[in-house]
Amino acid sequence: MNFLPTLRSLVSTYQAFEHYSAPNVKALGLTMTQFDVIATLGNQPPMTCKELGEKTLVTKGTLTGVLERLQTKGILERKINPEDGRSQMIGLTEKGQKLFEKVFPEHLRHLDRAFKNLSAEQLKQVEDSLSLLKNIF
Q: Which residues, at least 6 apart from 92, have a Cβ–Cβ distance to it below 8 Å?
A: 38, 41, 42, 75, 76, 77, 99, 100
Reading phi first (left if > 0) and then psi (alpha if -120 to 50, else beta), residue 39 is in alpha
Domains of the chain: 4-135 (1.10.10.10)
Mean pLDDT score of the chain, rounded to an integer? Answer: 95
Query: Which tens digit of pLDDT belongs to each residue from 95-129?
Result: 999 999 999 999 999 999 999 999 999 999 999 99
CA separation for the pair 104, 123 (Å, rounded)? 21
Q: Report the pLDDT value the prediction gives residue 25, as an integer from 0 to 100.
A: 97
Asked if 96 and 35 count as a contact pair (C-beta separation under 8 A), the reply is no
